[in-house]
A and B are shown apart, each in its own frame.
Chain A
Amino acid sequence: MFRKALLALPVALALGATANAQKAPEDVLQGLIDSIDSSYLTQSEMNLMMMPDSPALWLIDDGKDLFHEARGPNNVSLETCDFGKGPGVLEGAFVEFPRFFEDTGRVMDFESRLVHCMKTIQGFTDDDPAIRTKHGNAADITKLQTYVASLSNGHAWNPPMDHPMEQAMRDAGEVIFYRRAGTMDFSCSTCHAATGKRIRASVLPNSNVPEEWTKAVSWPAFRVGHDNVRSAQHRVGECYWQMRHAEPVWGGTGMTAIISYWNDRARGQPAILPDMKR
C-alpha cells in the first residue's frame, strides 16, 4: 500500500498532460484486453496485478534525473537531443521509432539514437560504463530509455515511413521475419503468425493482430523471469538465440530492420510503456 502511494506520484508527474498519457500502463493494457479476445494479453493474471507496482516505474524517475542532469566529459544534459520531433521533444517520441536521421544518414532504433546523443552531446565513449553497460536496472541506458518511453505510454505506434530508407528497412524486416534458416528451420513467423498458439506454457503473440502485437513490442518492460527491465533489443536477441540463428549486433542493421517491421505491425494501437512481461 505504502509502496504504491510512493510510486503513484512520480509516475503521474512523468506521464504528462495528454489525455491518453494520463492512463497508467495497466490501464492501456486493460483497454486492449477489453477490445479483443486474446489469450496472450490475459495469460498472466499475476502480472496484471503486479503492474501498478512494477519495478520499471521506479526507473522512470531515475531516468528523468539522469536525462536532465549535466553529465559526461562535456558536462551537459541530454535536453538538446533530437529524437526526431525536435531537440528536447520527448512526448510521443518513442512510438515514432525507428526513424531516419539526416545527421547520421541512417535509420536508428530508439536505443541507438539515445547512445548517439550520449556520445555526440555529452561526450561519452564506448568504453564509458554509461554506454558500455547495456543490461539490467542499474544501467543508465535502461533508466533513460524507460523514462523517455514512459512519455509515450498510451500513444499509438506510428513509426514514420516518409523517408525511403524507413520504408526499405521495414520491408527488409518483413522479409527477415518470414525467412527460415538455421538448424531448426525457424523464422519469426513460425511462432508469431497465429493466434493463441503456445510454446510449452507460453502463449505466443500474433504479429497479424495489432491489439496483441502492441503488447509484444512494448519494451522496455520489467521481465519478471529476469527480475530486470529489458529493452526491445534484448527480446530480439533472445528469440534469435532460441531460433539457433546468429546473434544480431546491438544497434546493427538486423536489429533495426526487425524493430522497424515489428513496430509497424503494431501501428495505430496504444503502446504500454513500461510494460511487464513474463
Chain B
Amino acid sequence: MFKKTSLAAGVAAFAAFLFAGGSSIAAADEVDFTAMSAEELAEYIILESGGFHLDAAVQEGGTMRARMEQDDMQRACSVVGGGKPDAATLEAVRTAAAASITYPEGGIKLGDWQKGRELSWSGFGFRVGHRTDEHSGNRQPGGNCANCHQKVGDRDGGTLGPDLTGYGKARGTSDAMLKYVYDVIYNAHAYFPCTQMPRMGAQGVLTHAQIADIMAWLLDPESPVNQ
C-alpha cells in the first residue's frame, strides 16, 4: 500500500508537455516557475530540473533518484512550517508502519551488547557525494543512535531524541519490552507516527542481528547503559 507515486500530476503533465518537443534538456530557465505551486516547483527542482545529482549510484543499488522520491510516510509526514498531520493521516502512518515490521526467525533475543555499543555509536553508511561510504565486510552501516540520543553509553550523544541512560534498568527484559524496543528500532512510526527517528529496519539500514545487538546495548543488565 505504501508505494511511491510519481510527481504531483500537474508537474508531471507540465514536464511531459515541455520535454515532448524532443529537446532532451529543456533548460530549467524555460519553465515558468511562477506558474507552479510551491509544492510543484519543489518537486520539479528536485526531480526534473537537474538541480541534484540524481544519477549517482547508491549503496542499496540503483540511483539517488529513488531516494529523493518520497514514499507515502515521507510525504504524509512532511508538513511545511512544522507540526504533525491530522489524526487520520497519523493513524494511517502508524498502521502501515506496524505492518512493515518483520521479526527474526526464532523470536526476538538480545544479542551482544559490545557489538551494539559500536553500532549505536557509528554514523557510517549510505552517505554519497564528495566522500562515498563503501559498505564492506568490516565496515557496515551503523545505527546513528548516538547522533540523537544522549548517554546511550559513555560518549557524548545528541538530544533530538530522549535520553536513554539506564533505559533497560528501569524497564527490564520482558517479552513485551523486547518487542517494543525491537519495533521502535525497526520502524518507530508504529508507536510514534511521523517521528523524526529513522526506520532502521524498514529502510534496510540495520539487519535483524544488528538490531539484536543494539537492543542488548540498551537492555542487557550487563551493558554499561544500565550500570
**Residues of chain A at the chain B interface (Cβ within 8 Å):** 104-106, 164-165, 167-169, 171-176, 178-187, 189-191, 193-194, 196-201, 208, 237, 240-242, 244-249, 252-255, 257
Minimum CB–CB distance from A161 to chain B (whole Å) comes to 12
Q: In the docked arrangement, what's the CA distance between A171 and B34, Å?
A: 10
Interface residues of B in 15-59 (CB under 8 A from A): 28-29, 33-34, 36, 38-39, 41-42, 45-46, 49-54, 56
Minimum CB–CB distance from B187 to chain A (whole Å) comes to 10
Q: Is the CB of B127 closer than 8 A to any CB of chain A?
A: yes
| Cβ proximity bits B122-147 to A, threshold 8 Å, 1 near / 0 not | 00001111110000000000001011
Q: Is the CB of A198 within 8 A of B159?
A: yes
Given A172-B38, A244-B67, A198 and B52 contact (CB-CB distance below 8 Å): no
> Which of these binds chain A: B68-76, B105-113, B165-173?
B68-76
Given A105-B29, A190-B196, A249-B52, A181 and B68 contact (CB-CB distance below 8 Å): yes
Q: In the docked arrangement, what's the CA distance between A130 and B147, Å?
A: 38
Interface residues of B in 87-114 (CB under 8 A from A): none
Q: List 8 A-B contacts (CB under 8 A).
A: A104-B29, A168-B36, A174-B38, A180-B73, A182-B67, A183-B60, A241-B131, A253-B49
Given A191-B160, A197-B159, A254 and B52 contact (CB-CB distance below 8 Å): yes
Going nearest first, the 4 A-B pairs with the smallest beta carbon separation are A254-B51, A253-B51, A175-B42, A171-B38
Max count, chain B CB within 10 A of own CB: residue among A183, A187, A208: A183
Q: Is the CB of A180 within 8 A of B52?
A: no
Q: Is the CB of B160 within 8 A of A200?
A: no
Q: Is the CB of B50 within 8 A of A249?
A: yes
> Which of these binds chain A: B77-85, B178-186, B214-222?
B77-85
Q: Is the CB of B164 closer than 8 A to any CB of chain A?
A: no
Q: Is the CB of A246 within 8 A of B54?
A: yes
Q: 8 extra interchain contacts, Cβ-Cβ under 8 A, other than A175-B80, A178-B81, A197-B158?
A: A183-B204, A185-B196, A189-B82, A190-B196, A197-B159, A199-B147, A241-B129, A247-B53
Contacts of B130 in A (CB 8 A): 237, 241, 247
Contacts of A247 in B (CB 8 A): 52-53, 56, 64, 128-130
Q: Is the CB of A178 within 8 A of B129?
A: no
Contacts of A173 in B (CB 8 A): 42
Among B49, B80, B82, B129, the residue within 8 A (CB) of A252 is B49
Q: Is the CB of B126 within 8 A of A244?
A: yes
Q: Is the CB of B51 within 8 A of A237?
A: no
Given A184-B144, A185-B198, A252-B52, A168 and B42 contact (CB-CB distance below 8 Å): no
Among B34, B42, B126, B158, the residue within 8 A (CB) of A199 is B158
Q: Is the CB of B199 closer than 8 A to any CB of chain A?
A: yes
Q: Is the CB of A197 within 8 A of B33?
A: no
Q: Is the CB of B160 within 8 A of A178?
A: no
Q: Is the CB of A254 within 8 A of B158?
A: no
Q: In the docked arrangement, what's the CA distance between A255 and B51, Å?
A: 7
Q: Is the CB of A183 within 8 A of B67?
A: yes
Max count, chain B CB within 10 A of own CB: residue among A176, A190, A237, A255: A176
Q: In the docked arrangement, what's the CA distance between A23 and B159, Å?
A: 35
Contacts of B129 in A (CB 8 A): 237, 240-241, 247
Q: Is the CB of B209 closer than 8 A to any CB of chain A?
A: no
Q: Is the CB of B205 closer than 8 A to any CB of chain A?
A: yes
